[in-house]
């Protein structure tokens, strides 16, 4: 059930009425029921997967929690009699058993994800290698249908169990509450990837009908619909025309495709997150923000701090740090310092962890070489930028330009285009085609075609372009206004007439300018396929 | 404390680590810096800094880092 489908609007409307009618203590249970109803729309058989993740995680977190409780009781009971060493040894023994439960839970859940999402890709590559070597084989090509949101809910749930293991917060005793945390429908399809301690603050609370919060939620939903339907879905045919006909559209059209895809993806993903956050908000639940005006970033590292924030945070907390500061990595670093000197030795943990993180980020997005290469190229740019910092500093010291408007604009444009180049790997059918298209940007000089009416052959009319320019300017305006304070708060402070005129114009824009067309079928959100 | 400030200054000579208490919040030190810092602190003080201790409260200032090291040394 897509957020922008009529079914979803009906589903959310009915749930909204029921939510504020049922006794407040049943509200979270209603959300749980609704989340499973929502999930069953994607296929009732997939419920088995999310249930398996929920039950296994509940069991493992319960065992870890019980071990912690038993340890605390034992140490308290024997605090006078046990020596420091005995206490330490006891703690280590308990930790080992906790770690066993953590590992079992992670292997089981990442195992499900790996088998469903990656086994086909791995087997296909093994088969290709055998074919190249002319080795006869009967390796089957497997294709599993992916359960809705599996990459998102698996990561969120594994974050929870790691946090419980690390003692960040106590485990959730109530299996149904944990089930709601994992399946909460607004965030299920494309995130944000929430942390349990953040989400529980509002997810299980009793909520009164708060007109301000609810109207804020509706505004956010409308804004998401506007971005998705007026911008992203309108640009879709143009992006598809360019990337599906690489022989025809080269040179400047590759740049046009990159530019359109940058806008489309932003509108699609942030629009989807706006709807998710807005829907949660009308039920009184606060989700974590996932974007912070990423296209205003001045460097690629800054960009990744501001785009898909919750995924970046997940990788940093649960993968980058555990690898880079692990004992074995620090020992390796020490050895390398002795062998190759300080400069190389101290880089080893950071380099290895960054490569692992970006490889995983790549395959998280999809089981295809395009995503692997995309991840590793991001890694390369980040590491090269890191190495270039002293160079930049020397440049900044020599030419005092870094605080000027034009230099910042240059940095923003550079980051935008660099990311747009890398992101194009999402679009073309394979890596060699993408690289051929990169090359064509520099070798095929067809820039004159831009003004020869070719832009009108991409599936967009003049009126489409006008709507797009105005809509993108509006998004840009809202982004710029949001730098100082929440745009919704600023709007709320305006006179009644201004506020309601804005809502009216937004609703009419969605209805009139949304890319519906004849036989409209709401298109998938891009990130829901990851 | 002086040792910690010395390590931090090697990484970011432009920052006054005696007064700054928003190293993480203001993104003065990033994840790469934290890894380098942990590696140097582990060697200097012969202490293991577990990953669960990598939270902003423990790295926002030289004083907080010092408190973390003292606590970990005490626990060992």
Residue ranges in chain B modelled with pLDDT below 50:
none
pLDDT at residue A460, as a whole number = 87
Q: Is B51 on the interface with A (CB under 8 A)?
A: yes
Distance CA A98, CA A171 (A): 13
pLDDT at residue A242, as a whole number = 93
Handedness of CA A211, A215, A216, A220 (dihedral sign): positive
Our CA-based measurement puts residue B32 at a distance from the nearest CA of chain A, in whole angstroms, of 6
Q: Please spell the DSSP secondary structure of A420-480, one letter per residue.
A: HHHHGGGTSSSHHHHHHHHHHHHH---GGGGGTTGGGGSS--HHHHHHHHHHHHHHHHHHH
Give domain B2-75's CATH superfamily: ACP-like (1.10.1200.10)
Q: Do B52 and A166 touch (CB under 8 A)?
A: yes
| Same structural domain, A164 and A313 | no
Q: Which residues of B touch A168 (CB under 8 A)?
A: 52
| Per-residue pLDDT band at A432 (split at 50, 70, 90) | very high
| Average pLDDT of chain A to the nearest whole number | 89
Q: Which residues of A touch B51 (CB under 8 A)?
A: 166, 321-322, 325-326
Instruction: Note the pLDDT tens digit of each residue in A464-480.
Output: 899 899 999 999 999 98
| Max CA separation in chain A (angstroms) | 88
Domain that holds residue A41: 6-209
| Same structural domain, A173 and A312 | no
Asked if residue A303 lies in contact with residue A297, where contact means CB atoms within 8 angstroms, the answer is yes
**Domain count of the fold of chain A:** 2
Residue in chain B closest to A350 (alpha carbons) equals B32
The gap between the terminal CA atoms of chain A, to the nearest Å, is 16
In this predicted structure, the answer to whether residue A519 has a pLDDT above a threshold of 60 is no
Q: Which residues of A touch B (CB under 8 A)?
A: 166-168, 301, 305, 316-317, 320-322, 324-327, 330, 333-334, 346, 349-350, 353, 386
Residue ending a domain, among A209, A224, A241, is A209
Which one of B10, B35, B55 makes the best mutation probe of the A interface by having the most chain A beta carbons within 10 Å? B35
Q: Do A324 and B27 touch (CB under 8 A)?
A: no
In this predicted structure, the answer to whether residue A342 has a pLDDT above a threshold of 80 is no
| Same structural domain, A307 and A159 | no
Pick the more confident residue, A355 or A519.
A355
Tell me the range of A39-48, A132-141, A410-419 where mean pLDDT is highest. A410-419
Instruction: Note the pLDDT tens digit of each residue in A159-179.
Output: 999 999 999 999 999 999 999
Residue ending a domain, among A376, A399, A429, is A429
Our CA-based measurement puts residue A400 at a distance from the nearest CA of chain B, in whole angstroms, of 16
| Residues ≥6 apart with Cβ < 8 Å to A405 | none
Distance CA A528, CA A91 (A): 42
Is A494 a domain residue? no
In this predicted structure, the answer to whether residue A186 has a pLDDT above a threshold of 60 is yes
DSSP single-letter state for residue A144: P
- A350 vs B27, B35, B43: nearest CB: B35
Q: Which of A289, A274, A280 is nearest to A34 (CA)?
A: A280
Is A239 a domain residue? no
Distance CA B59, CA B24 (A): 7
Is A509 a domain residue? no
- Cβ burial of A59 (10 Å; 0-12, 13-18, 19+) is middle
| Same structural domain, A191 and A310 | no
Is A381 a domain residue? yes
Which one of B38, B39, B49 makes the best mutation probe of the A interface by having the most chain A beta carbons within 10 Å? B39
Asked if residue A257 lies in contact with residue A427, where contact means CB atoms within 8 angstroms, the answer is yes
Q: Do B35 and A353 touch (CB under 8 A)?
A: yes
Cα A511 versus chain centre, distance: 28
Residue ending a domain, among A209, A225, A252, is A209
Exposure pattern of A439-476 as b/e (b: 16+ CB <10 Å)? ebbeeeeeeeeeeeeeeeebebeeebeebbeebbebbe
Could you give phi then psi for residue A517, rounded to 5 degrees? Answer: 70, 180
Our CA-based measurement puts residue A165 at a distance from the nearest CA of chain B, in whole angstroms, of 9
Distance CA A299, CA A295 (A): 10
Is A128 a domain residue? yes
Q: Do B30 and A334 touch (CB under 8 A)?
A: no
Q: Which residues of B touch A379 (CB under 8 A)?
A: none
Instruction: Note the pLDDT tens digit of each residue in A272-304.
Output: 999 999 999 999 999 999 999 999 999 998 999
Is A63 a domain residue? yes
Is A395 a domain residue? yes
In this predicted structure, the answer to whether residue A517 has a pLDDT above a threshold of 80 is no
Distance CA A40, CA A43 (A): 5
pLDDT at residue A530, as a whole number = 60
Distance CA B3, CA B40 (A): 10
Q: How far is CA A347 from CA A339, A352, A358, A482, B39, in A?
A: 13, 9, 16, 38, 10
| Same structural domain, A174 and A300 | no
Distance CA A273, CA A163 (A): 24
| Same structural domain, A205 and A329 | no
Instruction: Note the pLDDT tens digit of each residue in A188-223.
Output: 888 899 999 999 989 999 999 988 889 899 999 999
| Per-residue pLDDT band at A520 (split at 50, 70, 90) | very low
């Amino acid at each position: 059930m897509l957020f922008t489908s009529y079914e979803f609007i009906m589903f959310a409307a009915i749930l909204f009425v029921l939510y504020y009618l049922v006794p407040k203590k049943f509200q979270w249970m209603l959300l749980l029921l609704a989340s499973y109803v929502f999930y069953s729309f994607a296929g009732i058989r997939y419920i088995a997967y999310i249930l398996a993740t929920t039950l296994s995680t509940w069991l493992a977190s319960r065992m870890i929690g019980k071990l912690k409780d038993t340890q605390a009781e034992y140490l308290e009971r024997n605090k006078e009699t046990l020596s420091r060493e005995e206490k330490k040894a006891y703690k280590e023994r308990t930790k080992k058993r906790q770690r066993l439960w953590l590992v079992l839970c992670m292997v089981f859940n990442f195992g499900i994800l790996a088998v469903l999402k990656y086994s086909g890709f791995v087997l296909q590559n093994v088969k290709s290698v055998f074919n190249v070597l002319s080795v006869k084989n009967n390796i089957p090509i497997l294709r599993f249908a992916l359960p809705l949101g599996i990459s998102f809910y698996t990561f969120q749930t594994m974050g929870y169990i790691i946090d419980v293991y690390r003692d960040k917060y106590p485990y959730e005793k109530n299996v149904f509450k944990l089930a709601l945390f994992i399946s909460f429908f607004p965030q299920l399809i494309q995130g944000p990837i929430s942390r349990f301690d953040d989400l529980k603050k509002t997810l299980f609370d009793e909520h009164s009908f708060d007109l301000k919060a609810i109207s804020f939620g509706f505004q956010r939903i409308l804004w998401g619909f506007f971005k998705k339907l007026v911008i992203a879905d309108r640009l879709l045919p143009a992006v598809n025309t360019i990337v599906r006909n690489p022989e025809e559209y080269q040179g400047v059209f590759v740049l046009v495709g990159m530019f359109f895809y940058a806008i489309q993806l932003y509108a699609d993903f942030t629009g989807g997150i706006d709807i998710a956050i807005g829907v949660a908000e009308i039920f009184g639940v606060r989700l974590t923000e996932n974007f912070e005006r990423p296209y205003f970033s001045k460097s690629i590292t800054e960009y990744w701090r501001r785009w898909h924030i919750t995924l970046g945070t997940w990788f940093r907390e649960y993968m980058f740090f555990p690898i880079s500061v692990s004992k074995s990595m620090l020992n390796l670093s020490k050895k390398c310092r002795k062998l190759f000197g300080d400069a190389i030795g101290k880089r080893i943990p950071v380099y290895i962890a960054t490569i692992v993180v970006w490889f995983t980020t790549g395959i998280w997005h999809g089981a295809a070489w395009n995503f692997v290469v995309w991840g590793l190229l991001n890694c390369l740019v980040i590491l090269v930028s890191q190495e270039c910092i002293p160079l930049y500093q020397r440049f900044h010291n020599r030419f005092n330009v870094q605080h000027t408007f034009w230099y910042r604009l240059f940095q923003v444009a550079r980051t935008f285009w660099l990311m747009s180049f890398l992101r194009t790997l999402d679009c073309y059918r394979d890596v060699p085609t993408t690289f051929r298209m990169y090359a064509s940007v520099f070798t095929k000089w067809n820039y004159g075609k831009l003004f020869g009416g070719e832009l009108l052959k991409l599936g967009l009319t003049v009126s489409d372009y006008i709507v797009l320019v105005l809509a993108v300017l509006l998004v840009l305006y809202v982004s710029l206004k949001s730098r100082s304070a929440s745009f919704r708060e600023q709007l709320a402070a305006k006179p009644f007439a201004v506020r309601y005129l804005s809502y009216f114009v937004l609703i009419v824009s969605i209805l009139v300018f949304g890319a519906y067309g004849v036989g409209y079928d709401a298109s998938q959100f891009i990130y829901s396929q990851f | 404390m002086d040792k910690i400030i010395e390590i931090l200054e090697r990484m970011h000579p432009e920052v006054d680590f005696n007064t700054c208490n928003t190293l993480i919040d203001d993104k003065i030190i990033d994840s790469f810096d934290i890894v380098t810092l942990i590696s140097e602190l582990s060697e200097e003080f012969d202490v293991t800094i577990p990953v669960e201790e990598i939270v902003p409260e423990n790295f926002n200032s030289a004083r907080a880092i010092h408190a973390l090291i003292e606590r970990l040394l005490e626990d060992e």
